[in-house]
Structure 1
């Protein structure tokens, strides 16, 4: 059983930090398990035992980097909050770094666990926005509907049709969702 915190957490942090530093210094193509292990101050066998291979390690680092650091900013109403969140989401995920993290996250976990974790991060953020709206007495769509109508189209375009990924596109998805929700569709 892995203890929360303790040595396991220190090893994970040291290895993740080593990966990020080495990627910045050398580029992804130059990364090796022995190089990461030496930088992190652990043995290569520690990394192989915990992550299996370099792709799984890169995937774990990517998923951690895709986790939002802060809750979404509040702007006073549902439309403004959701637009702001969608703009930030598309800006981060459509960037070259964001795309690389998405690729790594998905490649390292063919069972879908990393995709589920990334989806949970988005759902949590959306949940915060919707909870704020509810506290203000605003009607709001459900989390799943926002995922289906706002996040899913953005992710599809990020992965398969990267043109036109602008803040206007993100705001348009939000506005269409809110218009349809208000009309009962």
Structure 2
């Protein structure tokens, strides 16, 4: 089994992962990212450096794993009564969190320690799961709804591109515009 397949381990493995992740977060807040080393993290977590190397390979892969876990949404998207309100509120929050300095750092770390693309896939799956929850709710209410891939292509992808490559001018109005364009295009197509 590869290191990337160990997403949600149980027992001792889960305790090691939790203590190492906590150590990384604590040390980053105390020393900054540049001050981190595998021996420091191991000491703080109460494990040997070889445990970290065996499980994560190197510091960058560890930072990437921590970042992916931090990018995982903690709650389901809020229900605001209709798809437009749900998707708009979610997109505004997503943009605000991901475009923040910590959000951008987590995105960079998630991608830097990801030679096989697994972390990018996990992060994408988090957003798709959130979109799917909102779309399912809309369908249950009898609303028309685009597909998950349309939300990913028309809302999430442009925001991520702008966050990574053209962050100037990103604000809630941009997120609202993307959602409106997606939903208004669907309304005009007779769905």
Q: TM-score range by the shorter chain?
A: over 0.9
TM-score w.r.t. structure 2 length?
A: 0.95
Hey, what does 1:101 align to over in structure 2?
106
Q: 1:138 aligned to 2:182?
A: no
Q: 1:68 aligned to 2:104?
A: no
Output the CA distance in 2 between the equivalents of 1:102 and 1:167.
Answer: 19
Output the CA distance in 1 between the equivalents of 2:9 and 2:127.
Answer: 24
- Across the aligned residues of Structure 1 and Structure 2, the Cα RMSD in angstroms comes to 1.2
CA drift of 1:99 comes to 0.3
Of 1-10 and 90-99, more deviation after overlay is shown by 1-10
CA drift of 1:77 comes to 0.3
1:1-50 CA-to-partner distances (Å, cap 9, x unmatched) read 77941000000000000000000011000000000000000000000000
Q: Give the 5 Å matches for 1:4-19.
A: 4-19=9-24
Structure 2: where are the runs of 5+ without partners?
A: none
CA drift of 1:184 comes to 1.1
Describe the SS at the equivalent of 2:68. Answer: helix
TM-score w.r.t. structure 1 length?
A: 0.98
Runs of 4+ in 1 over 2 A off after TM superposition: 1-4
- Partner of residue 78 from structure 1, selected from 55, 74, 83: 83
Structure 1: where are the runs of 5+ without partners?
A: none
